Amino acid sequence: MGERSASLAIDSAEPIELPIYPASVGPAVIDVGALTRLGYFTYDPGFVSTAACASAITYIDGDAGVLLHRGYPIEQLAQQSDYLELCQLLLNGELPAASDKRAFADAIRSESAVDGRIEGLFAGFQEDAHPMSMLCSATAALASLYHDSMDSDDADCRLATAKRLIAKVPTLAAMCFRHSRGEPFVPPREDLDYAGNFLHMMFASPGKDYAVNPVLARAFDRIFLLHADHEQNASTSTVRLAGSTGANPYACIAAGMAALWGPSHGGANEAVLNMLAEIGSPENIDPYIARAKDRDDPFRIMGFGHRVYKSYDPRAKVMQETCHEVLAELGVDHDPTLKMAQRLEQIALEDEYFVEKRLYPNVDFYSGIILKAIGLPVSMYTAIFATGRTPGWIAHWMEMVSAPYKIGRPRQLYTGVGRREYVPSAERA
């Protein structure tokens, strides 16, 4: 890679040269591998300034609020592309030709049904099981069907796995929703597109016609698109770490789902609605803002802040526009929850604390309001996020396993006691 290097002098030792590798866009990296020979590790809890891999899939400039998928800005993709086309872009690196796009959509539709043995899993869940507990389990269970046909060294096998996951995760997510309502599952239809099929599997009544609302279908397509990938976030890094052991890709994606579930990550959309419900009315916002600013109070404004974005999350802007479109279509654009969110956003963006720490709304701030207006329970929101993120997770898994890779094995700063001899219980105090 690059010719530059960083000199590191430790105490009086001779300085060592650490290679610097240039990025195609954004920060270069310093290869610190030589440190172990000197008896040192780097120390970076939370990986704030650590690049764990090289990747060509997504680029984020957090200061400028830029998000590029294979070089294309998220704003242009949201306005001009669609979710399955973005899936192909993430997987293959290029926008597909019209014929390839049709073939991919047909392949996904043909794979969207779920084996009856996976359906049988749901009988073991109580109805009030959290959808993410069911989705993680059912996704990992797909490995039981395809484990023996999984050869991650084979490109065709990797692509078949990618299509299978992109096709089946929304069906599993819809099954989680139906199970939580005690309703029978609705199988996917051959005559509907991806988002239309999702709506149908979620809301259709068996034996009755279900008319897909094109505004809601477009909204879901855009919600999935906005969540499709986001560089080396916690859940994607989890997928890569699990994949680095050679684990089955279905298990790796299930691991990513588990990581996404946390309220600091993909669980934030659910946490935003719970927070807005707890605040209750715009008059109560100020005390919560005060709590968010109190270092001794663990309360955070959910849907605000981001490790990378120190300006407005570009996805949040598109999500806000979609929110207004959906609520207007549903005739609920005076929804008190939306009004509360807008008031909270306005107060926070004008508050010195949030300005100084560069805390802005992120992708999760408005998504939950759209999903609430469409009629989804709060517990389903992260499952929607996981459905959207599946192509990103699988694209990173494919990128890693299609080239030489090492098992991920971080080191530590040991702070425990040094060696000591065992004391038989009779001799202990």
Among residues 122, 304, 360, 393, the one that binds ligand SDX under rule CB under 6 A: 304
Report the Cα 106 to chain-centroid distance in Å: 25
Q: Considering beta carbons, is residue 198 or 288 the nearer one to ligand SDX?
A: 288
Helix H segments across 48-154?
Answer: 74-80, 83-92, 98-110, 116-121, 131-146
Largest CA distance in the chain: 80
Residue 339 in contact with ligand SDX, rule: CB under 6 A: no
Q: Considering beta carbons, is residue 116 or 298 the nearer one to ligand SDX?
A: 298
Q: Considering beta carbons, is residue 112 or 387 the nearer one to ligand SDX?
A: 387
The answer to whether 132 and 386 have CB atoms below 8 angstroms apart is yes
* Catalytic machinery residues: 265, 306, 364
Stretch that binds ligand SDX, among 25-33, 67-75, 85-93, 293-301 (CB under 6 A): 293-301
CB of 339 to ligand SDX, least distance (A): 20
- How far CA 176 is from CA of 134, 173, 232, 382, in Å, comes to 6, 5, 27, 12
CB of 8 to ligand SDX, least distance (A): 26
Q: Considering beta carbons, is residue 233 or 238 the nearer one to ligand SDX?
A: 233
The rounded distance, in Å, linking the Cα atoms of 382 and 368 is 9
In a 13 Å sphere around the CA of 88, the CA atoms on its Cβ side amount to 19
Q: Considering beta carbons, is residue 81 or 233 the nearer one to ligand SDX?
A: 233
The answer to whether 92 and 70 have CB atoms below 8 angstroms apart is no
Contact letters for ligand SDX, residues 93-132 (x by CB under 6 A)? ----------------------------------------
Residue 295 in contact with ligand SDX, rule: CB under 6 A: yes
Residue 233 in contact with ligand SDX, rule: CB under 6 A: yes
Q: Which of 351, 383, 385, 391 is nearest to 365 (CA)?
A: 385
Residue 307 in contact with ligand SDX, rule: CB under 6 A: yes
Among residues 164, 230, 317, 372, the one that binds ligand SDX under rule CB under 6 A: 230
Among residues 131, 196, 305, 368, the one that binds ligand SDX under rule CB under 6 A: 305
The rounded distance, in Å, linking the Cα atoms of 233 and 236 is 5
Instruction: Name residues contacting ligand SDX, limited to 19-78 (CB under 6 A).
Output: 46
Report the Cα 286 to chain-centroid distance in Å: 30
> In DSSP terms, which residues pair with 380 in a beta bridge?
none
Residue 264 in contact with ligand SDX, rule: CB under 6 A: yes
Residue 265 in contact with ligand SDX, rule: CB under 6 A: yes
Token pair 């494919």 in the structure block, residue: 398
Q: CA angle at residue 333 from 332 to 338, to 5 degrees?
A: 105
Among residues 300, 310, 324, 343, the one that binds ligand SDX under rule CB under 6 A: 300
Residues that bind ligand SDX (CB under 6 A): 46, 230, 233, 264-266, 268, 292, 295, 300-308, 357, 359, 362-364
